[in-house]
Amino acid sequence: MQATKNGISWRLFLFSYLFLESSAQEFGGQTQFICTSVPKDMDICAATLQNSVPGEDLKTTVMQLRETVLQQKETIMNQKETIRELTSKLARCESQSGAEPGDARPGGRRKEAGTKNTMGDVSRGPTDTLTQLSQTLQSLKQRLENLEQFSRNNNSVQANSLKDLLQSKIDDLEKQVLSRVNSIEEGKPGLRNETEQRGRVESTLTSLHQRITDLEKGQRQNRPLDKFQLTFPLRTNYMYAKVKKSLPEMYALTVCMWLKSNASPGVGTPFSYAVPGQANELVLIEWGNNPMEILINDKVAKLPFLINDGKWHHICVTWTTRDGVWEAFQDGVMRGSGENLAPYHPIKPQGMLILGQEQDTLGGGFDATQAFVGDLANFHIWDRKLSIGEIYNLATCSSKAQVGNVFSWLETSIDIYGGASKWTFEACRQLN
């Protein structure tokens, strides 16, 4: 009888072991088995059920966790959809306001270097765009007035005919500007089509620039190659002139030019010379509320120039690599001097000389806020330090005045881009 009871207990133990093992395989992972004695009078199924309770709790917990994960996933998907909708609405709003998506800086994102656009930075707001457009139209009108004067002096029937046509187109553009102003003031939905309107106006302005340039070519046919000025009417990142040849290595230099500007704040960058590995090899710049500065190998000297009064001024800067000594002249008079400006650093060759823009990279990386606005003429460079008398001769247009032996001011020596224009200029005859 005792053997029978022992046999039954053994079978019950084996059955419980097999049941628990199958439960462990169902839940996976590593398990531990705990042997529990079962009273002889207790029902086997009840004992088995009692031993399986922890497994059921685990199942319930897993199901709850799975449900939580699914709910969180659904929440995340809803949030992503909301973000996409908000992003789409923001892009539409920015498109209507003239700003580019993703650009929170006032004035919009700067255009890539080398891009030409006669209306300036397309990412400007409506008010800035209208101001820029009005300035462009004013520049075109000024050029037409000059052409009209030329045509009267030369009795050119063809020039008069073309001038009338261009004047008519400019009148139409001014009406478009007035319409845009009314739309902004009244909050009309017409601004939604601002991109298309801007494109049409841009195309018309580009055509006008080209026609006026063609007409101006006739004016230049009988002009001496050195009797001209460059005009940069707008502060943009695309309007500039490029000198066709590079500079040689120089251990001393003199840079002279005539400038006329009333831009504020700062007249901008009359010229910049960049070489591989150094964008600020030789730069003349007046940026923001800072005084005008000369940079050599990215070293700076502040210059005592005051030229943004809308009058013509002759300026010269001399420099020698020995001790970095420099001198600054305005209208033939020395206004300041100093030393330790990039001492014993020769100006490097094989670079790019740009008029009207500051280079952040070789031949590019222009920033509209640093652009020169005004007129520039008689730009010359020497590889030596000119004397006070030589500089005075230049400023007074003396017959003894010399031309640069590194770069001399000739119309055939430069290329212009982005709407900068050339006009007849004779120093000391057109002053103020």
What are the 10-residue block averages of pLDDT along the chain, 432 residues in total? 48 47 47 56 55 57 66 62 58 48 35 36 52 67 65 54 62 64 56 59 62 60 84 94 96 97 93 97 94 97 94 97 97 97 97 97 95 96 97 94 96 93 83 56
How many Cβ atoms from other residues are within 10 Å of residue 103's Cβ? 13
Query: Alpha helices of 31-120 — where are they, by DSSP H?
Result: 44-97
pLDDT of amino acid 201: 63
pLDDT of amino acid 344: 96
Residue 315 pairs in a beta bridge with: 257, 330
Residues 211/337, Cβ–Cβ less than 8 Å: no
Q: In what order do the strands lie in the sheet with 252-260?
A: 333-338, 325-330, 312-320, 252-260, 374-382, 228-232, 421-424
pLDDT of amino acid 224: 87
Residues 116/238, Cβ–Cβ less than 8 Å: yes
Of 233, 232, 358, which is closest to residue 285 (Cα–Cα)? 358
pLDDT of amino acid 99: 41
pTM of this prediction?
0.56
Q: Would you state the structure tokens that stand for residue 21, as one six-digit string?
A: 């093992």
Q: Would you state the structure tokens that stand for residue 379, as one six-digit string?
A: 């730009």
Backbone angles phi, psi at 331, to 5 degrees: 55, 40
Q: Would you state the structure tokens that stand for residue 203, as one six-digit string?
A: 């195309």
Backbone angles phi, psi at 345, to 5 degrees: -115, 105
pLDDT per residue as tens digits for the range 225-275: 899 999 999 999 999 999 999 999 999 999 999 999 999 889 999 999 999
CA distance 110 to 311: 31
CA distance 345 to 347: 7
pLDDT of amino acid 105: 32
CATH number of 228-424: 2.60.120.200
pLDDT of amino acid 428: 82
